[in-house]
Structure 1
Amino acid sequence: MLVFEGFMDFLSYLTIKEHPAFSLNVVVLNSVANLDKAIPFLQCNNNIHLFLDRDEAGRTAMAEIVSLCPQSEVIDHSGLYLGYKDVNDYLRAKKRSGEERAKTPSPHAPSVRPAPGKPGPKVGGR
């Protein structure tokens, strides 16, 4: 059972995991205010993997799930996006840093130079 606070967090998770094929149930709360509606469903699961926001509301929701689902192993995955509010913020920051690296040539990019006395690489394909 995977639990996400928001739909964008779930979509970001799928992007990070490159659209995994999994057979787990998923709950998207859209707000921790909806947690009460999800508790009966969560209580039917042995393992609950949480991807909640790293804020007071997320910590409170996690504590409530642990308290109301004592038969379940509750696993907090918020350490995976440490330093970010949620999975979506983590993914956006990761993409921004990747875009910045793509704009800046790598100092370790190999240059193609012909050996002395040899013709250079073919250009144009003919």
Structure 2
Amino acid sequence: MLVFEGFMDFLSYLTIKKYPAFSLNVVVLNSVANLDKAIPFLQCNNNIHLFLDHDEAGRKATAEIVNRCPESRVIDHSGFYLGYKDVNDYLKAKKRPGEEQAKTPPRHVPSVRPAPGKPGPKVGGK
């Protein structure tokens, strides 16, 4: 399950990933105000990948999904576009020819909250 705040963010994701063929459900909220409508659908998924905006509303929506989908593994991918408002702003900045790419984010390591009873990701070490 992929969750995007806006349709342009979803299209930008497809552009970055070179239009991948995937068999995942996708939810485009168009606004975090629509989150309540999406929660029942999100709760039916084992894994939820979030691509929400870097703002207060996006952070609140992320916390809301984590709290209301306790049986799901919620993965926050906002680190991928760190330094940008959203996926679309990240893509637009990367596509500007001749401009310095000073805001290159660090290697993406998603924030993961494992489903109850499931082991979390291994961090560091062997």
Shift of 1:29: 0.1
In structure 1, give the amino acid aligned to 2:36.
D
Q: Which residue of 1 aligns with 2:3?
A: 3
* 2: CA distance, partners of 1:75 / 1:6: 18
1:89-111 CA-to-partner distances (Å, cap 9, x unmatched) read 00000001xx116xxxxxxxxxx
* 2: CA distance, partners of 1:70 / 1:54: 23
Q: Which residue of 1 aligns with 2:98?
A: 100
Shift of 1:82: 0.4
Q: Which residue of 2 aligns with 1:61?
A: 61
Report the secondary structure of 2:98's partner residue: helix
Structure 2: runs of 5+ lacking an equivalent:
100-126
> Where do 4+ consecutive residues of structure 1 move more than 6 Å?
none
Q: Structure 2-normalised TM-score?
A: 0.78
Q: Which residue of 2 aligns with 1:26?
A: 26
* 1: CA distance, partners of 2:3 / 2:82: 17
* 2: CA distance, partners of 1:85 / 1:78: 9
In structure 2, give the amino acid aligned to 1:41.
F
* 2: CA distance, partners of 1:54 / 1:71: 25
Q: Which residue of 2 aligns with 1:113?
A: none
Structure 1: runs of 5+ lacking an equivalent:
102-126
Q: Which residue of 1 aligns with 2:85?
A: 85
- Once superposed, what is the RMSD of the aligned Cα atoms? 0.7
* 2: CA distance, partners of 1:59 / 1:46: 21
In structure 1, give the amino acid aligned to 2:37.
K
Shift of 1:57: 0.2
Which protein is bigger by CA-based radius of gyration?
1
1:34-90 CA-to-partner distances (Å, cap 9, x unmatched) read 000000000000000000001100000000000000000000000000000000000
Shift of 1:17: 0.1
In structure 1, give the amino acid aligned to 2:74.
V
